[in-house]
Structure 1
Amino acid sequence: MTARDLDVSLLMWDMRRRIDHQKLPEGKIVVHFQYHDAPMERRRWWLVFDHGEVDLCLIDPGVEPDLYLSTSVSTMTSIWMGDLSYGTALQTHCLTLEGPSELRSRLPSWLRLSVFAEVERQVG
């Protein structure tokens, strides 16, 4: 994909659809996503998990986030598609993730990858 193909709205809605509800922590969890390269009106997103329900917000839900995730749309798309691991993105500082260590370590288990992450892609 090229930068022109990336759509942060589509990415966030797709990620919302792939939440593993059975692996979510108990209670209410808010994850704030910030994409520094997205259009200004689409830079900040919140996923709000509350007892099995998931809301995606473009407006601050008024609850202090438990996790803060900051990255570029291309980095998150690469993670989402399975081309880049969370660990590598964190180590290379392409992704920052702040919050309690238990939530940081569990995020990849409930924020599952795209259904296409397992599909082998053909090169050129």
Structure 2
Amino acid sequence: MTPYGQFCPVAKAMELLDERWTILIVRELLLGSRHFNELRRGVPKMSPALLTKRLRELERAGVIRRSEVGGRSVYTLTEMGEELDPVVKSLSTWGIRWIGELGNIDLDPHLLMWDIHRTIPIDLWPRRRTVVEFTFQDIVGKGGTWWLVVDGADPQVCDANPGYDVDARVVTDLRTLTQVWRGDIDWRTGLGEDRITVLAPTEIRRQIPDWVGQSTSAAIPRPA
């Protein structure tokens, strides 16, 4: 941690929190990630070595605790860490309201699909194994096709074909689905402007926007 040399509590807090990736690791823990690989999927552009370093720093600072369950490390927030929940939510609200422009570097299919899979409204899906395939036309090779599998209470997202029958195929580009997920545009706009194509029987095609939904930040009002 780099000291600012100020007694101001904002400065003291930022000595810990403004290290690169730190607040995003806290975000992932608040969203339910508990294991190293889960955390990596939430910060896919972060190296494993740096993630390990940041976790140790947060543990030493008392923000998180590490325990062993079944031979695996489990990371959870302490009371100190849980108090960052409104801070992270406020940053999310401020960011979605005022920092709307997305550069190409901000578009990441790994983070997008991971974020989608953990908040989908499972109760709206059929009571059988259901598979939706996503194809990003602007991505060639690995990362261009993903599969969302809902079978019970634990949805899975796969970047390799799971081998199940596909119920629907969503064809779009990475920017469009990211904008829909963030709430910059809605599903109706994406479909109506032919930026999203859903290949499925009519009944399923109509349900895809409800099955996938949008992130919680999509409901945050934007400035006029």
Q: How does 1:1-124 map to 2 (within 5 A)?
A: 1-38=102-139, 40-122=141-223
Give the distance between the partners of 2:197 and 2:162, measured in 1 at CA.
Answer: 21
* CA–CA separation in structure 1 for the residues paired with 2:181 and 2:127: 24
Alignment partners' CA distance in 1, 2:187 and 2:219? 16
Q: Deviations over 1:78-116 (max 9, x none)?
A: 111112222221221111101122212112223221111
Which digits, 9 at most, give the CA deviation of each residue in 1:8-46, with x for residues without a partner? Answer: 110000000111111111211100000112352100100
SS at match of 2:142: helix
SS of aligned partner of 1:48: strand
In the aligned structure 2, how far is the partner of 1:6 from the partner of 1:60? 22
**Superimposed CA distance per residue, residues 30-69 of structure 1 (whole angstroms, 9 cap, x where no aligned partner):** 0000011235210010001112331111111111210000
Q: What's the C-alpha RMSD, in Å, of the aligned pairs? A: 1.5
- The residue type equivalent to 1:11 in the other structure is L
Structure with the larger RCO, 1 or 2 (CA within 8 Å, 6+ apart)? 1
Which one has a larger percent strand, Structure 1 or Structure 2?
Answer: 1
SS for the counterpart of 1:30 is strand
| One-letter code aligned to 1:64 | D
| Deviates further, 42-51 or 87-96 | 87-96
Higher mean C-alpha displacement, 36-45 vs 53-62: 36-45
With normalisation by structure 2, the TM-score equals 0.52
Single out whichever of 94-103 and 112-121 deviates more from structure 2: 112-121
Sequence identity percentage: 33
Is contact 1:8-1:38 (8 Å) kept? no
Alpha-carbon separation, structure 2, partners of 1:17 and 1:112: 11
SS at match of 2:218: helix
- How far the C-alpha of 1:122 sits from its partner, in A, is 4.6
Segment drifting more, 23-32 vs 99-108: 99-108
Return the alpha-carbon distance in structure 2 between the equivalents of residues 122 and 38 of structure 1.
32
In structure 1, distance between residues paired with 2:106 and 2:223: 18
Aligned to 1:83, the other structure's residue is in SS state: coil
Kindly tell me the number of residue pairs found equivalent between the two proteins.
123
Structure with max Cα Rg: 2
Q: Is the 8 A contact 1:83 1:117 kept in 2?
A: yes
**Relative to total residues, which structure has the larger helix share, 1 or 2?**
2
In structure 2, give the amino acid aligned to 1:14: D
